[in-house]
């Protein structure tokens, strides 16, 4: 089934469920306006300069029946962007039926799954494809078709995944920002003869031991992270995404020890060029009730390592940051961090903040600043410093 057909089907099913009586049903979501200002001129003359305006909507629907043992979830996302046609897109984030029993649970449809514990990056999070036109940090994800069976035992929870179909990573267009030069080509290449029809598989075990949360996972299938290969074409050199078949084993651990959070993510991947290992780990220490107020301040430090070396952005880097939670009626929050390369003069600065206004409105601010050495993996984005404001109406 195509995603267009899935979206139409989801709307119809959601509409029927919403009109049903005697069941728990709820609509939620938001509509938002966004303003982005780029403080420097683009590297490529085809890219826009200065500012852009966009509008987004993210409706969600939840419906449960059978005393809550069965549920239906629908969520979608739409954005219109005035500058980059590739950033104007619609996606079915979730269209999922869930059935729960005492010691097992099944999920079927299109869904999102998150794995990971660290702040600066999520190495083990591999089920869903990143929606890179939404945000450069890769936190936004596309929906993934899946069958997920969870076995809930005293010795831990085992999640089994069958993942039919593949979503290509989204990239900014020729006019857009946060892209290399030249722009990523529209054509893609796959190792698998099945291309985007390849069926992937994943398994994860997780368990809590007192203050420790441990997860071990394995994934086999099409890599969500393509290799970008310069390719000669009739029009010159093009950057073509190539999707390998990979095996990835991951470990994520978090220890909650009073005011300390200790976090580790580790992966071992084969099939994508040479076999490699990557690691992210560190801590967050929270000062509770700073200066006898309701505010909490968390200090974060992490180390990022990838033995592929300078071919990737974060091969030998240190992340330091601070999180401020005001714990007020407006849910005011602020997160600041910087990732600095140990070997080169490269820094990636990030700021995120939000505050609720009234009952339904939320004002958010984000800023990204990149100072990169000319031979660093982040060098193509060194002119893409941006300040972003979003005003959202939640319902």
State the total domains in the chain. 1
What whole-number distance in Å separates Cα of residue 115 and Cα of residue 284?
A: 18
Burial 96-113 (b: 16+ CB within 10 A, else e): bebebeeeebebbbbbbb
Least confident of 179-193, 270-284, 355-369: 179-193
Instruction: State what percent of residues in the chain have pLDDT above 90.
Output: 86
pLDDT at res. 17:
43
Closest CA to 363 of 336, 337, 384, 333: 333
Closest CA to 178 of 334, 348, 346: 348
pLDDT at 370 over 50: yes
Mean residue pLDDT across the chain: 93
Q: Which position has the higher pLDDT, 16 or 144?
A: 144
Find the mean pLDDT for residues 128-136. 94
Q: What is the DSSP string of 8-77?
A: HHHHHHHHHHHH-SSSEEEEEEEEEEEEEEESS--SSTTS--SEEEEEEEEEEEEEEETTTTEEEEEEEE
Model confidence pTM above 0.85: yes
Give, in order, the Cα–Cα distances in Å from 75 to each of 150, 309, 352: 22, 38, 24
In this structure, the chain runs to a length of 395
pLDDT at res. 23:
67
User: Residue 182, preceding bond cis, omega within 30 degrees?
Assistant: yes
Find the mean pLDDT for residues 154-179. 96
Q: Which domain holds residue 344?
A: 3-394
pLDDT per residue over 8-48, tens digit each? 444 444 444 444 444 689 999 999 999 999 999 999 999 99
pLDDT per residue over 80-101, tens digit each? 999 999 999 999 999 999 999 9
Counting beta carbons within 10 angstroms of the beta carbon of residue 235, is it exposed (0 to 12), middle (13 to 18) or buried (19 or more)? exposed
The torsion of the CA quartet 111, 117, 119, 120, rounded to 10 degrees, works out to -80
What whole-number distance in Å separates Cα of residue 257 and Cα of residue 327?
A: 21
Based on its alpha-carbon atoms, the radius of gyration of the chain, rounded to whole angstroms, reads 22
The CATH code of the domain that includes 94 is 2.40.160.10
């Amino acid at each position: 089934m195509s995603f267009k057909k899935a979206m139409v089907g989801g709307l119809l099913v959601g509409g029927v469920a919403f009109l049903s009586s005697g069941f728990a049903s709820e609509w939620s979501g938001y509509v938002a306006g966004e303003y982005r200002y780029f403080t420097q001129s683009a590297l490529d003359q085809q890219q826009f300069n200065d500012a852009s305006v966009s509008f987004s909507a993210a409706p969600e629907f939840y419906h449960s029946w059978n005393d809550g043992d069965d549920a239906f979830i629908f969520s979608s996302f739409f954005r219109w962007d005035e500058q980059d046609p590739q950033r104007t897109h619609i996606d079915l984030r979730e269209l999922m039926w869930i059935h729960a029993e005492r010691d097992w649970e099944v999920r079927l449809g299109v869904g999102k799954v998150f794995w990971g514990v660290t702040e600066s990056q999520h190495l083990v999070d591999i089920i869903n494809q990143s929606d890179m036109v939404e945000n450069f940090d890769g936190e936004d994800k596309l929906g993934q078709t899946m069958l997920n069976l969870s076995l809930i035992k005293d010795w831990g929870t085992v999640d089994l995944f069958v993942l039919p179909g593949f979503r290509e990573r989204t990239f900014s267009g020729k006019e857009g920002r946060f892209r290399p030069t030249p722009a990523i080509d529209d054509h893609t290449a796959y190792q698998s003869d099945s291309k985007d029809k390849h069926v992937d598989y994943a398994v994860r075990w997780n368990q809590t031991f007192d203050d420790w949360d441990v997860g071990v996972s394995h994934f086999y299938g099409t890599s969500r992270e393509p290799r970008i290969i310069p390719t000669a074409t009739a029009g010159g050199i093009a950057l073509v995404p190539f999707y390998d078949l990979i095996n990835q084993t991951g470990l994520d651990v978090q220890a909650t020890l009073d005011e300390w959070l200790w976090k580790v993510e580790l992966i071992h991947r084969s099939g994508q060029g040479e076999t490699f290992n990557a690691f992210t780990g560190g801590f967050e220490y929270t000062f509770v009730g700073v200066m006898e107020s309701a505010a909490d301040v968390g200090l974060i430090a992490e180390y990022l390592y990838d033995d592929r070396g300078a071919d990737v952005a974060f091969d030998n880097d240190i992340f330091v940051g601070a999180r401020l939670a005001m714990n007020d009626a407006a849910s005011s929050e602020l997160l600041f961090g910087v990732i600095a390369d140990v070997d080169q003069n490269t820094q990636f600065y990030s700021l995120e903040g939000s505050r609720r206004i009234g009952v339904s409105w939320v004002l958010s601010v984000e800023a990204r600043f990149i100072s990169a050495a000319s031979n660093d993996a982040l060098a193509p984005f060194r002119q893409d410093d941006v300040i972003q404001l979003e005003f959202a109406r939640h319902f």
